[in-house]
Amino acid sequence: MIRGLHSVINLIGETPMLKLTFSIGVDIFFVYAKLESYNLTGSIKDRVAYHILDRAYASGEILPGQTIIEASSGNMGISFAALGGLLGHDVIICMPDWLSQERYDMLELYGATIVKFSKAEGGFRRCIEETERLGKIIPSYLPRQFKNDENVQAHYTTTCNEISRSMEAINTTVDAFVAGVGTGGTIMGAAYYFDDFLNKKICHPIEPASSPVLSGDGSKGHKIQGISDEFIPDIVDLNALHSPIKITDNDALLMAKMLNVSGISVGISSGANVVGALKLQRGNFVGNVVTVLPDCGKKYLSTELPKTSIQRLFDDLPHVEILDIQEIF
C-alpha cells in the first residue's frame, strides 16, 4: 500500500453492483453493471491510478518530488491529479481540447497543469508525444497508461474480482462482459481474468459506430468521450476479444440520459456500455451480461447529454424502457 494514501484506499473500489431490468418490445433483458462513480474522484480510473502508483513506488520507478506527466481524455488525468496531489507530486496532464469543460475544471480543482492540443495540432497522438518530450526535460514519472500492463492488472485484481464475488453471491454466472475501449485496461483485465477462471473468451469491446478504430476503419469524430482515442492501445490484444459492438452516438447519449432520469448518474460511455449489453442479448447470445458504468453524469453537464430528450428514438433498440434498477451487492 502506498504510504500516505492509506486514508483513501477505502474510497477506491468495492463499488455497488446493479441489476438493470429493461423491456424491448415484449422481451425482458437484464444487465449487471458496476457503478464506478462511487470511487474517489467519481470514475473507474481511480483503481488504475492507485494501482500504477502503488507499483511504481514499490519498484522505485517514481521518487518523491517528481512530476507525474500523463496523456488523458479526462478521467485518468483527474485520478492522477487527485492521488498525485495527496502524495505531494505536481501533475501535468496533456489532453485534447474538445472534451467536456468539467474535465478541465476538475483537473484545475485538483491542482494539475493542463496542456491542450487541437485536432489540427495532432490530437491525442500529439498529447502522448508531448508527455514524452516533457519527460526528458522535467524530473518526472510517466505512467504511460496506454502501454502499461499495470493498467490491465488493476482491473484483473480489483474490478473483475469484485464482479465475480458479486455474481457468486447471487448464484449467477458471468457469461459475457461488455465495455468500451479507451486505454483498453478494463476490457483486457476482464479478458485475461475470465479466460483464467472460466477458460473461455467472453469479452466484447464497444466502439463508436462513427469511429470504428478497433475494426480498422479509421478514427473519425464521435461523442462518446473516453473511448476510441484515435488508435488501438498497445495493451489491447484483439485476439483475446470478440468482434467489436458498434454503438451510435445517439444511442449512447439516449441511454445515458434515461439512466440519469432514473436516478443513476452516469456519463455517455456508460450509456454506450449498456446499449452494447442489450444489443448482444438481442442477437443470438443467451446468458448473463456484465458491464461497467465508468463515471458520473456531472462530468458531462457542458455536453449535449443534459439536453438529450428521452422522447428521441434509439437507432438500434426499438421501444426500450428501464423497468427496474436494483443494487444486488
Please pick, among 73, 100, 269, 270, the residue that the annotation labels catalytic. 269
- Those residues whose C-beta lies under 8 Å from the C-beta of residue 173, and which sit 6 or more positions away, are 167, 287, 288
Distance CA 78, CA 76 (A): 5
CB neighbours of residue 278 within 10 Å: 25
Max CA pair span of the chain: 62
Distance CA 45, CA 146 (A): 13
Mark whether 262 is an active-site residue: no
Q: What are phi and psi of 71, to 5 degrees?
A: -95, 135
Distance CA 232, CA 214 (A): 6
Distance CA 322, CA 320 (A): 7
Please pick, among 19, 34, 45, 223, the residue that the annotation labels catalytic. 45
Say how many residues make up the chain.
329
Percent helix, strand, coil in the chain (nearest 5)?
A: 40, 20, 40
Mark whether 45 is an active-site residue: yes
191: three-class secondary structure by DSSP: helix
Distance CA 10, CA 39 (A): 9
**255 residue type, one letter:** M
Distance CA 91, CA 52 (A): 15
| Residues facing 34 on adjacent strands | 17, 292
| Residues facing 247 on adjacent strands | 208
Q: How far is CA 33 from the centre of its chain?
A: 13
Cell of 32: 449487471
Q: What are phi and psi of 216, to 5 degrees?
A: 85, 15
269: three-class secondary structure by DSSP: helix
Residues serving a catalytic function are: 45, 269
